Structures are given as C-alpha cells and as structure tokens.
Structure 1
Amino acid sequence: MATIYEVSEAAGVSLATVSRVMNGNAKVSDRTRKKVEDAMAKLGYQPNAIAQSLASNRTNSVGLLVSELHGSYFGDLMSTVEQELKQHGKHVIITAGHVDEKREHEAIEFLKSRRCDALILHAEAVSDDYLKTLVKGKTPVVIINRKVDELDDNCFVVDNEKGGYLATKAVLDKGHRHIAYISGPLFKKDASDRLDGHRRALEEVGIAFNEDAVFEGDFHESSGQEGMQRLQQSYPQLTALVCANDEMASGAMTAAREAGYDIPSQLSIVGFDNVLFSRYLYPKLTTINNPIHAMGEMAAYWVLQHVYDIKSPIPIEHLFVPEIVDRDTLGNP
C-alpha cells in the first residue's frame, strides 16, 4: 500500500503540501494540487481519515440538523448543503430534531460528539439562550431560518413577516375582502412572523383581524385539508385563503375541490415557500418564494470560508427578501 511519503516523492512536493491538498486547503495552487492528485491516483494512495483528523485537528465533516427528513423544503436544504460542501471534499452528517426541544438538544450533542468541524442548524425548539451558548463554544455554528438577537453574523433567514404581508397583499390587490388564513404552529417564530405580516396587510386597508378566519395548522398537508374544512364552517363567506406553506395550501386545495369550489373563480389560494411541487399542482399554486436553496448555499459558503479558509465565490448575505410567485390560483373575487 502506498504511503504519503511516496506521494510526496512522486509529486515532487513536501509532506506538508500533500497534507494541505488532502485537507482541501485553499493555499495550494491548482498546478500543485493536480500534481499531488495525479500522484495519488497513480500510486493508488488512499488517505487514512483518522490519521488525517489527528494530524490536522479536522474531520472534514459538517453536522446538519433539520426538523424533518422528508418534504421538498428540507430535501432542498439538505441537497444544497451537501452539494456545496462535497465540492471541497467535505462530508455532511445529517440528523433530525423533529421540532422537539429534547430531541434537538440530543441531535446537536450527537453531532458535536462526532467531532464535526462546524454545525449548520435548522433548529426550531431549543431556546435562543441555548443557541447563544452554543455559538460561544469551540465548534462554529450557523443557524438557518431563524433570527437570534446578537447572532446576526451566524443567522441566515428570510424576512417571514414581509412574506406573510406580501401573500395577503396580493389577495387584497385582487379585490378580496373576505380572507381566511391557515397558519403554521404559532410557537414557531417563522409561523408567527408570517401571521403578523398577514395581520399588517389587513390593517393597512382597514380590515379587522378576525379569529374565526384563522386556523392554526402544523405545516403538513393534512392540516391544510382540515383547516379548509373548519374555515368553511367558521367563515363561510371566504373568497380567498392564504396558507403559511405550500404543503398546507395543497391540502386546502384538495378540500376545496371536494367541497365543490372552483379555483380560482370561486376561491383563491396563496401558499408560501415555492417548493418544487407547487408548480405542478392543478391549478399551479401562486406562492411566496422562500429561498431555502440560497440560504443553504450561503450557510455552506460561510462554513467553507470561516472554518476551512476557502473564500466564498460571492459575498455572503444573511437576510433574504421574499417575493410573490404569481401562477394560477389567484383570481378576482
């Protein structure tokens, strides 16, 4: 079996240079990197991951915490982070917290025990104080889809309040005045911010906020279906429905069709997230673009730059602006 010494000799470089190439260090020219990689390929050299870790104090692995392992939203986040880090020889260890404080805490401790070089967290249940303490530790941490006071440089977040405002304003601009709303679980900051935006849009045109026109869902399709069924009873005059994510909007569309509504001539529906399936629903769903792909990309760039000294190809942004994606489910009352 070839050794690092033989790679060094074959490539005509120092042991330190071979080590830098294996650890993805940016301070190696492309020409030198290719010489080392060619020598490794010719000799059939396989780096020892444990030895690399001990020598560099790096595991070349990044921990990623998500709320769930299913669904387009988290699928997009996981694939984006993995793709960006993989390009630089870094691996991703993924675990789920299931929106439960104890399980999120256990998942984060698991990632730390694997000696991850950094953590990317989509954490919804642990407290802000816990995250602030975590950031002060030895392992670099970035947080996605959650703004924590005093941690602006570590957070990547969309303006959820503005997104909720834009969704309802789009409905109001079409002339709707009887508007119902299906929220996510309101203990989540993104869900409560989106509802605040909805409320602000109503107040701007002098419409009083009506509790009977709101159903609290759980961000899953089934609660969108249940929400539509309930709102038919509590607010039968509704002509438009704003949903806090696309999954619930999809469920609401199913319930609306089963109840005999034509979309959008009898009922307009707007979602939030702009996940992949939203453009394949019938009718195609009007929604708010939640740039989770861009947030995941930026989080990966932050880790590469701050942890591995690999310069980001573009300036790192922390706050993302939502936009309306106008398709086919929004019409006049």
Structure 2
Amino acid sequence: MITIKEVAELAQVSQATVSRTLNGHASVKETNKQKVFAAIEELGYKPNAFAQALASNRSCSIGMLVGTLDGPFYGPMMHEVEKVVRAENYHLIITSGHEEYDEEHESIRFLRSKKVDGLVLTADTLSDSELLDIVNEVEATVLINRYIPEIAERCIWIDNERGGFLATEHLIKCGHTQIGCVTGQLSKVDSRDRLQGFRNALSHYGVEYNPNAVVEGRFDHKCNHDAIRRLLDRDIPLTAIFCMNDNIAMTAYTLCLERGLKVGEDISIIGFDNVSFGQHMTPGLTTIDFPIHEMAKMAAQKVMAIVQNKKSANLCNDPIAPTVVVRGSVKNLNR
C-alpha cells in the first residue's frame, strides 16, 4: 500500500504539506499542490478516508431521511442524491422515518451520531420550528418537498397547490363538473395544498364544491381500496376522479374495473407524481408531473455546495412549477 511518506518523497515536500493539500488547506502553495497531485497520480495513492476525516473534522458522508425505503417515489430520489454525492467522493447514509414523528426524530439523531457533514431531509411530521432548529445545528441541511420561508434557499419544493389546481382545471376543461377527489393523508401539507388547489379550481370555474365527493386516502397503498369504495358507493354521478398521487390512481383503476367502469370512457381519472408505471397502465394515466429526479439532484448539489463552501450554495430558488402530462385516462366530454 502506498503511504503518505512515499508521496512526500516523490513530490519532494514534507508529509505535512501532503496532508494539508489533501485536506484543502489554503496555505499550501500552488506549485506544491501540483507536485503533490502529480505524485498521487503517478503512485496511485488513495488517502485513508478515516484518517482524512480525523484530520479535516469531516466524515465525507451525507445523511438522508426519507419516508420509506421502497416505492416508485423515494427510490428515484435516493438514487439521484447518491449519484451526486458519490461523484464528490462522499458517501450517502440513508434512513427512513416511516412517516412517524418519533421515528423521524430518531432517524435524525442517528444520522447526526454518524457525524455526517450534511443532511438531505424529506420530513413529513416534524414541525417547521423543529426543522429550523436542525438547520441551525447542521448548516448543510436541505429540505426536499418542504417550504419554510425562513430557510427558503435550503428548500427544494414543488407548488402542490398549483398542481392540484392544474389537475382539476384539466378535468373541467374536458367538460367534467361532477368530480370526486381522493386525497393523501390530510396530516400532510402536500395533501392539504393539493386539496386547496382542487377547491380553488372549482371556484375559479364556477363549479360547486361538494364535500361528499372528497374522501381521505393515503399516498401509500394502505386503506385506499376502502376510501375509493366509499366514494364510488355515494350517490354522486361522478364522471371524473382526481387522485392525489399515482398509487391512489392505480387503486382507482382496479376498483373501477371491478365495477365494470372503463377508465377513459365511463369514468376519467387523473393522478399526481408521474411515476414510471403510469405510462404503462391501460389507458395511460394522465397525471401531474412531479420532477423528483430533478428535485433530488438539485437538493444534493445544494447540500454539497454548502459543505464545500461554494458560492452557489446561497442561491435562492422558486418553487418548481408542476405540469400536466396528458395520456388516455381522461375523456373529453366536449367532443
């Protein structure tokens, strides 16, 4: 194994200079840096990560909190963050809060115990004030799909209210006025914002809001069968359903099929997220695009910029604008 001593001898500098170069000290002369890097390249030297961490007071790792470790939403998110982090020679430590308050707290305590240099958080249950406390303690913290005005520059988020508006607007413009809505958990800000967008669109186009046409489901697969059955059993002549994510929409497809309703003909369905399976459903699912790959990449780049003290770390960002992805699951009644 090549040692730091051998690098120093080949570069004709002290071992201390090699160490300072590896740890990014500004005091090292440019000519010496070039000698050290040339020697490292020639010898194929690989620094000991643990020793580097001790010397630099960094772990060269980033912690990430997600809602769950599986599924079509969090999987791509973790993949994109890991790609960016590994490209910077850092490692990603991932833990799940299972969308439970105590588990999110414990997960963040675990990540901090590992002395991670930064955090990427998708926190569903922690309050704004609790997240502000975390940012005060771990400067390199970035939130995905959460907006807190005091730390707007550390938030990567989509305008969920606008997304709910666009989904409902698309149905109305296709001639639908009897529209059902299956929400995610209303304890989640995503669901509440999308529901507000739904109501805003109805109001904007003069369609009466019917609270009996709204049922609470979940963003995962739990309990959605029961929620959609309740909606379909109500005495409402629905022609369309806004499902607040594509998981819910997939369940709606199944239950409509069980009742002899053909999606895209007898009933229209629009989802939210644009996860990969939607385009393979029959008919293809019309949905709201949630650019999770882009958002995850932006979050990872931002946290690395903060860790590495790059100027781009301070750039503010606006919410990402959602868009409608039109496929075959919504019938145009105007034709």
Normalising by structure 1, we get a TM-score of 0.91
Q: Kindly provide the amino acid, as one letter, of the partner of residue 126 in structure 2.
A: V
Q: Give the deviation of 1:283 after TM superposition.
A: 1.1
- Residues 180 and 63 of structure 1: CA distance in aligned 2, closer, same or farther (over 3 Å): same
In 1, are the aligned partners of 2:153 and 2:317 still within 8 Å (CA)? no
202-211 vs 243-252, which moves further: 202-211
- Residues 19 and 196 of structure 1: CA distance in aligned 2, closer, same or farther (over 3 Å): farther
Q: Kindly provide the amino acid, as one letter, of the partner of residue 153 in structure 1.
A: E
- Residues 27 and 165 of structure 1: CA distance in aligned 2, closer, same or farther (over 3 Å): farther
Q: Kindly provide the amino acid, as one letter, of the partner of residue 195 in structure 1.
A: L
- Quote the residue 2:74 is aligned against: 74
Q: Give the deviation of 1:141 after TM superposition.
A: 1.2
* Alpha-carbon distance in 2 for matches of 1:305, 1:188: 29
- Quote the residue 1:191 is aligned against: 191
- Residues 70 and 15 of structure 1: CA distance in aligned 2, closer, same or farther (over 3 Å): same
Q: Aligned with 1:227: secondary structure?
A: helix
- Quote the residue 1:168 is aligned against: 168
1:203 aligns with 2:216: no
What is the aligned length? 333
Give runs of aligned pairs for residues 71-220 of structure 1, distance below 5 A: 71-220=71-220
Q: Kindly provide the amino acid, as one letter, of the partner of residue 107 in structure 2.
A: A
Q: Give the deviation of 1:282 after TM superposition.
A: 1.4
- Residues 36 and 291 of structure 1: CA distance in aligned 2, closer, same or farther (over 3 Å): farther
- Residues 32 and 252 of structure 1: CA distance in aligned 2, closer, same or farther (over 3 Å): farther
* Alpha-carbon distance in 1 for matches of 2:161, 2:186: 13
* Alpha-carbon distance in 1 for matches of 2:246, 2:20: 45
- Residues 65 and 321 of structure 1: CA distance in aligned 2, closer, same or farther (over 3 Å): same
- Residues 205 and 17 of structure 1: CA distance in aligned 2, closer, same or farther (over 3 Å): farther
* Alpha-carbon distance in 2 for matches of 1:173, 1:181: 17
Q: Give the deviation of 1:225 after TM superposition.
A: 3.2
CA deviation string 1:266-324 (max 9, x = no partner): 111100011111111111111001111111111111112111135669x7735211000
In 2, are the aligned partners of 1:26 and 1:310 still within 8 Å (CA)? no
- Quote the residue 1:328 is aligned against: 328
* Alpha-carbon distance in 1 for matches of 2:6, 2:213: 72
Q: Which runs of 5+ in 1 are unaligned?
A: none
Q: Kindly provide the amino acid, as one letter, of the partner of residue 284 in structure 2.
A: K
Q: Give the deviation of 1:45 after TM superposition.
A: 3.5
Q: Kindly provide the amino acid, as one letter, of the partner of residue 75 in structure 2.
A: G
Q: Give the deviation of 1:15 after TM superposition.
A: 5.2
* Alpha-carbon distance in 2 for matches of 1:172, 1:26: 61
- Residues 8 and 220 of structure 1: CA distance in aligned 2, closer, same or farther (over 3 Å): same
In 2, are the aligned partners of 1:241 and 1:268 still within 8 Å (CA)? yes
- Residues 16 and 192 of structure 1: CA distance in aligned 2, closer, same or farther (over 3 Å): farther
Q: Kindly provide the amino acid, as one letter, of the partner of residue 256 in structure 1.
A: C
* Alpha-carbon distance in 2 for matches of 1:4, 1:318: 46
Q: Aligned with 1:320: secondary structure?
A: coil
Normalising by structure 2, we get a TM-score of 0.90
Give runs of aligned pairs for residues 249-288 of structure 1, distance below 5 A: 249-288=249-288
In 2, are the aligned partners of 1:221 and 1:249 still within 8 Å (CA)? no
Q: Kindly provide the amino acid, as one letter, of the partner of residue 278 in structure 2.
A: S
In 2, are the aligned partners of 1:61 and 1:90 still within 8 Å (CA)? yes
* Alpha-carbon distance in 2 for matches of 1:297, 1:16: 36
- Quote the residue 1:49 is aligned against: 49
Q: Which runs of 5+ in 2 are unaligned?
A: none
* Alpha-carbon distance in 1 for matches of 2:26, 2:194: 41
In 2, are the aligned partners of 1:64 and 1:95 still within 8 Å (CA)? yes
Q: CA-atom RMSD, angstroms?
A: 2.9
- Residues 214 and 230 of structure 1: CA distance in aligned 2, closer, same or farther (over 3 Å): same
* Alpha-carbon distance in 2 for matches of 1:298, 1:35: 35
- Quote the residue 1:297 is aligned against: 297
Q: Give the deviation of 1:184 after TM superposition.
A: 0.4
CA deviation string 1:179-218 (max 9, x = no partner): 0000000110011000100011111122222121111011
Q: Kindly provide the amino acid, as one letter, of the partner of residue 61 in structure 1.
A: S
- Percent identity of equivalent pairs: 43
In 2, are the aligned partners of 1:98 and 1:104 still within 8 Å (CA)? yes
